[in-house]
Homo-oligomer: A and B are copies of this chain.
Amino acid sequence: MKEFDLIGRYFAGGGHQRKDVLVGIGDDCAVTTVAENQHLAITTDTLVGGIHFFESAPAKSVAYKAVAVNLSDLAAMGAEPAWISLSLSLPKIDENWLADFAEGLYELTRYYSVQLIGGDTVHGPMAMTITAQGFIPPENALKRSTAKPGDWIYVTGTLGDAGAGLGILSGEIETTAQNRDYLVNRHYFPTPRVAVGTALRRTASSCIDISDGLLADLGHILKASGCGATVHVDRLPLSRQLTECLGEGKAREFALTAGDDYELAFTVNEEQRGHLETSLSSTNVKATCIGQITGHSGKLELKLEDAPYPMPSKSGFEHEF
């Protein structure tokens, strides 16, 4: 057995076993079945040590995040997660690190009934690529390109927390121990909004997950849909911890521009708006209306109590489509 085949032992079996996995880890390919009335959603995300996470970060959080960002993409499409493949590149074998990594991975896959169906383990710089797959009924995919002028813009949870958590970890932000715990956890262990994504299938007109920051990601919806938007910064959902830590002005800036929250941003037309509360009632996740889609293609206006509000300098929003 080669040194790096050893890594595979930490993932042998794949954790949660699904009936739709006919061949799991250990052959040239996994073999699975897809139900007749389902389409398949597929996404891939890579995290590189030193770029997407601190190499000193707890291994459990690294694995958790690597899975979460992929499940978040499935959620943003309205898909129900099913299987993941993991490619793990490591400079050396540290058995404690691997045990913690496997624990973080399986914590999330167990919760969402996802099976690890295969992958690759190689010697190289610390990095991991996960491909995640899930199911969507035909015509239910939540695309970026289908927002319409007049649709209301919503976001789940609170924004900016993960960015503040990163600032705390890198020593740029100081706060109380309690706020630190909350914000750093939001950075290390983002919650993929899987239940919200599937609940929105027939209600939302478009959807994206917030990985690069609200303005950047809302910009993707506007670009794909050929629309503009007005966002009211006084309606941005902020956690008490973020506001205590940064003050209201800076908290709003983080909510607009900081990445890694993995909340969903979605649009709902006037007719469906009345169904939204019912759709989300089973999810225990709050969604907040923060603005409205406009017909001004490529224009994103910020407002504070109906007065213009300046665009943060590093908004990540592309004005020129």
With A31-B39, A44-B85, A46-B124 given, can you name 8 additional A-B contacts, CB distance below 8 Å? A1-B318, A28-B43, A28-B74, A29-B41, A31-B77, A42-B85, A43-B85, A129-B129
> A208 vs B27: C-alpha distance in the bound complex, in angstroms?
8
Query: When the two chains form their complex, are residues B89 and A27 in contact, meaning their CB atoms are under 8 A apart?
Result: no
Give the oligomeric copy count: 2
Output the least CB separation between A120 and chain B (Å): 5
Q: If A39-B22, A122-B46 touch, does A85 touch B34 (CB 8 Å cutoff)?
A: no
Say yes or no: B141 contacts A45, CB within 8 Å.
no
Asked if A123 is at the interface of the complex by the 8 Å CB criterion, the answer is: yes
Residues of B within 8 Å of A134, CB to CB, are 29
A93–chain B nearest beta-carbon distance, Å: 15
A87 to B22, CA, bound (A): 26
**Contact-residue size bin, chain A (C-beta under 8 Å from the other chain):** 35 or more
Which residues does chain B contribute within 8 Å of A31, judged by CB atoms? Answer: 39-42, 77, 136, 141
- What is the CB-to-nearest-CB distance from A287 to chain B, in angstroms, rounded to a whole number? 17
| Contact mask for chain A residues 67-91; partner B; CB cutoff 8 A; 1 contact, 0 none | 0000001101101000101110100
Mark A residues whose CB is within 8 Å of B.
1, 22-23, 26-34, 36, 39-46, 48, 51-52, 73-74, 76-77, 79, 83, 85-87, 89, 117-120, 122-125, 127, 129, 131, 133-134, 136, 141, 143-145, 207-209, 224, 318
Given the known interface contacts A22-B39, A39-B22, A77-B27, the answer about A125 and B123 at a Cβ–Cβ threshold of 8 Å is: no
**Cα–Cα distance between A41 and B29 once the two chains are bound (Å):** 6
Q: Are A129 and B87 in contact (CB under 8 A)?
A: yes
CA distance A30 to B143 in the complex (A): 10
Q: Are B131 and A76 in contact (CB under 8 A)?
A: no
Interface of A is mostly: strand
A48 to B4, CA, bound (A): 14
Contact B33 A40, beta carbon cutoff 8 Å:
yes
- What's the Cα separation between A80 and B127 when bound, in Å? 30
Partner of A131 from the list B1, B127, B131 (CB cut-off 8 Å) is B131
Residues of B within 8 A of A120 (CB): 44-46, 129
Please measure, in the bound complex, the distance between the C-alpha atom of A48 and the C-alpha atom of B127, giving whole angstroms: 10
A28 in complex: contacting residue of B23, B85, B122, B144, CB < 8 Å: B144
Chain B residue at minimum C-beta to C-beta distance from A117: B42
How many Å lie between the Cα of A145 and that of B31 in the bound state? 14
B48 and A41 within 8 A (CB): no
Contact residue among B32, B51, B124, B131 (Cβ-Cβ distance under 8 Å from A48): B124
A-B contact pairs, 18 of them (CB 8 A): A23-B141, A27-B144, A28-B43, A28-B209, A31-B39, A31-B136, A31-B141, A32-B42, A42-B85, A44-B85, A44-B87, A44-B119, A44-B120, A48-B122, A48-B125, A89-B127, A124-B127, A127-B127
A36 contact from B36, B73, B89, Cβ within 8 A: B36
User: Could you tell me if A46 and B87 are in contact, using CB atoms closer than 8 angstroms?
Assistant: yes
Q: Are B26 and A43 within 8 A (Cβ)?
A: no
